Structure 1
Amino acid sequence: MHAKLSPSTIFLLTLPPIFWAGNAVLGRLVAPLVSPMTLNLLRWAIAFVLLLPLAAPVLRRDSALWPSWRRFAVLGLLSIGGYNALLYLALNTSTPINVTLVGASTPVWTLLIGRIFFGIRISGKQWLGALLSISGVLLVLSRGQLDVLLQVHLVPGDLYILLASAAWAYYSWMLAHPTTEPDGIRKDWSAFLLAQIAFGLVWSGLSAGVEWSLGWGRFDVSWGLALALLFIAMGPALLAYRAYGAGVARAGPSVAGFFINLTPLFTAVLSTAFLGELPHLYHALAFVLIVGGIWVSASRR
């Protein structure tokens, strides 16, 4: 049975890949206008300002946050300061097909990290789910043609997205295993996310500072870039993180990790939509494989 995957849980875990697909498309479009570390810093600075009216008390000196500051510093490093920065860097230094291909390893990383660091046993169904899910991603990337995959060559820049996938997997397990944060913060999604963003901005600021000190920074102000920043701050940042955290709490990080592989499918659909092309049969087949992987991995005896 699939008791953990109620319709509302499926919605929560499907929403982030849709937003993250839009993030990937916009990230590639604005790459000539803003450098990756600066883009990441600006995105989360805007998200911080938007969220502040809802959860400002969590940052007060007498807040229950500060006894748990080390945990939130790690959460902010893995997700905001690490995963997102590495993703934008990968979009600047590698091809989109490579980034998506390596990013498809996230469910496998989730299973392995759960086993190594959290003692979670990996079932045969979970491995089968991972195989189905990755097969669906490969189908999208190859556009249904094997020779396209055979022409893929990994480059050193792909290491960025590999590290990003591992960081996100560990972040997911940390969400599922709260240890020191107070219930008041844990149960208030806005306070929980604002605490992560506050520490994540420190890491992002350090990365952007290094970027500019090395002469790699760029920021060309335009209305198009401003609108793109507003979207990725509201959708892929605030709404997606809120939905993903709630989904992990319901279904667990292993199942949630499989939903991430819907991102390349949605990215392909959005890309073809912007180019005026119609979806193909392989998109439908890939969707069946990815959803099949989710279904198998979430099933219980």
Structure 2
Amino acid sequence: MTQRLTPATALLLVVPPLLWAGNAVVGRLVSGLVPPMTLNFLRWALAFLILLPLAHRLLRADSDLWPNWKRFAMLGLLGVGCYNALQYLALKTSTPLNVTLVAASIPIWMLIVGSLFFGQRISRLQLVGALLSIAGVLVVLSRGQWALLMQVQLVPGDVYVLLAALAWAFYSWLLSQPNEPDHIRSDWAAFLMAQIVFGLVWSGAFAAGEWAVTDAHIQWSWPVIAALIYVAVGPAVLAYRCWGLGVQRVGPATAGFFSNLTPLFAALMSAAFLGELPRVYHAVAFVLIVGGIVVSSRK
């Protein structure tokens, strides 16, 4: 049973886009230093070590993790193995504008996947909210100049981001369908660890393939190490914890609209790092995105 959107739940769902925006910035910074599939694997390997003191009992032979391996293997594939790996891969071949533009389709895919595979009815308010929210994203991406959007040309990286959006939509809907022991689901560290255990198998296989078929190498440095620590602690552990709680409270359809805050935060971060002050179109985009969230969450 989903709940009405409250300020506390809204805060939970704002934290992941903020951390994911930082993840996109860091991913671009190290795109030439760490191969994308390898970056994803190292990120989750560190997250595994962080969670190990909190959820080590889950790895015991008599744990309920193993009888439920099929569910966690699927969650691990979509949320750990595919989503960020595809985004990191996209940043190698696509522009930031294209990546965020295609990723902005996540709320739409949330509604489509929910309708086709999970019996979710799409309401008029959700459609209106989706249009408002995406309009806000387009304002950010175009910097208030719509002519810039007409210059976008799709490249392979955009397809990777689209696949990532689909993976995240399925992942979020599966999260909303409890099918594991309560003591695992109620323990956030154990629940995330259960996904990482199998996700490391997927991401490790993808990284191994990357090193086998490409000229993959890592240029180790302190900035690279700092980047790995950030993407493991922030966008992985903290963001997934907050997102999981938010999805359980209000459902994937409403939670999906908060993902549109990611490009807004990314624009603000880029402005801060480049020393540029926020502009009027940032405020307009914020109003549209938040308006879409509010409208879509109304009963």
TM-score, normalisation: structure 2: 0.98
Deviates more, 1:269-278 or 1:208-217: 208-217
1:215 CA displacement: 2.4
Report the AA paired with residue 186 of structure 1: R
Separation in structure 1 between the aligned mates of residue 271 and residue 248 of structure 2, nearest angstrom: 33
Counterpart in the other structure of 2:97: 97
Report the AA paired with residue 256 of structure 1: A
Q: What secondary structure, in the 3-state scheme, does the structure 2 residue paired with 1:157 have?
A: helix
Report the AA paired with residue 211 of structure 1: E
2:38 maps to 1:42: no
- Which deviations, in whole Å up to 9, do the C-alpha atoms of 1:68-101 show, x marking residues without a partner? 1000000000011011110100111111100000
Counterpart in the other structure of 1:182: 181
Separation in structure 2 between the aligned mates of residue 252 and residue 176 of structure 1, nearest angstrom: 6
- Which deviations, in whole Å up to 9, do the C-alpha atoms of 1:198-221 show, x marking residues without a partner? 111100000000000012312111
Separation in structure 1 between the aligned mates of residue 270 and residue 94 of structure 2, nearest angstrom: 17
Report the AA paired with residue 116 of structure 2: I
- Which deviations, in whole Å up to 9, do the C-alpha atoms of 1:142-182 show, x marking residues without a partner? 00001111111111221100010011001000000112x11
Q: Please, which runs of 5 or more residues in structure 1 have no aligned partner?
A: none
1:3 CA displacement: 6.3
Report the AA paired with residue 206 of structure 1: A
Q: Does the aligned pair in 1 maintain the 2:90–2:156 contact within 8 Å?
A: no
Counterpart in the other structure of 2:195: 196
Counterpart in the other structure of 1:67: 67
Query: 1:98-137 maps to which residues of 2 (within 5 A)?
Result: 98-137=98-137
Separation in structure 2 between the aligned mates of residue 139 and residue 212 of structure 1, nearest angstrom: 39
Q: Does the aligned pair in 2 maintain the 1:81–1:204 contact within 8 Å?
A: yes
Counterpart in the other structure of 1:84: 84
2:226 maps to 1:247: no
Report the AA paired with residue 187 of structure 1: S
Identity %: 64
1:133 CA displacement: 0.6
Query: 1:1-301 maps to which residues of 2 (within 5 A)?
Result: 4-179=4-179, 181-300=180-299
Q: Does the aligned pair in 1 maintain the 2:3–2:249 contact within 8 Å?
A: no
Report the AA paired with residue 223 of structure 1: W
Q: Does the aligned pair in 2 maintain the 1:35–1:216 contact within 8 Å?
A: no
Q: Figure out how many residues of one structure are paired with residues of the other and give that number.
A: 298
Q: What secondary structure, in the 3-state scheme, does the structure 2 residue paired with 1:221 have?
A: coil
Separation in structure 2 between the aligned mates of residue 44 and residue 65 of structure 1, nearest angstrom: 18
Separation in structure 2 between the aligned mates of residue 259 and residue 39 of structure 1, nearest angstrom: 25
Cα RMSD over matched residues?
1.0
Report the AA paired with residue 89 of structure 1: L
Report the AA paired with residue 261 of structure 1: N
1:4 CA displacement: 1.4
Q: Does the aligned pair in 2 maintain the 1:17–1:259 contact within 8 Å?
A: yes
Q: Does the aligned pair in 1 maintain the 2:271–2:277 contact within 8 Å?
A: yes
Report the AA paired with residue 145 of structure 2: Q
Q: Does the aligned pair in 1 maintain the 2:3–2:250 contact within 8 Å?
A: no
Q: Does the aligned pair in 1 maintain the 2:91–2:157 contact within 8 Å?
A: no
Report the AA paired with residue 250 of structure 2: A
